[in-house]
């Protein structure tokens, strides 16, 4: 395998690793966000978003609620972006060869 093939394989492995890590950490991130939005307990101070009347707390609840989508969505887009960048900028010869093999 030449250097282009090695770079292609490495970038594919890297992007799949990023995607798998993001998907594996998403449930843990969701539980942390749910705890932060919930009521306060003896061991944990929550925002108490269900019964708050403060505008500042409502804003903090909204930002905290969106943070899960921003963080994990951004990381997921990075993983997909690596794949798409390799296809767009470096994988054109590889894709042409693959298409030639499929046509014959």
Whether residue 70 has pLDDT greater than 80: yes
More confident residue, 84 or 104: 84
Task: Report the half-sphere exposure of 60 (CA within 13 A, side-chain side).
Answer: 14
> Looking at the predicted structure, is the pLDDT value of residue 66 above 80?
yes
Q: Retrieve residue 55's tokens.
A: 């505008």
Hey, where are the domains in the chain? Answer: 3-103
The CB-side HSE value for 66 (13 A sphere, CA atoms) comes to 5
Residue with tokens 């390799």: 86
């Amino acid at each position: 395998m030449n250097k282009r093939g090695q770079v292609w394989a490495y970038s594919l492995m890297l992007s799949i690793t990023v995607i798998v890590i993001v998907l594996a950490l998403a449930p843990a991130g969701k539980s942390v966000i749910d705890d932060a939005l919930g009521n306060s307990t003896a061991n944990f101070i929550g925002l108490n978003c269900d019964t708050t009347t403060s505008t500042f707390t409502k804003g903090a609840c909204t930002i905290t609620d969106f943070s899960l989508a921003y963080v994990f969505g951004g990381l997921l887009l990075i993983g997909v972006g690596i794949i798409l960048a390799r296809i767009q900028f470096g994988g054109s010869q590889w894709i042409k060869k693959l298409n030639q093999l499929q046509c014959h």
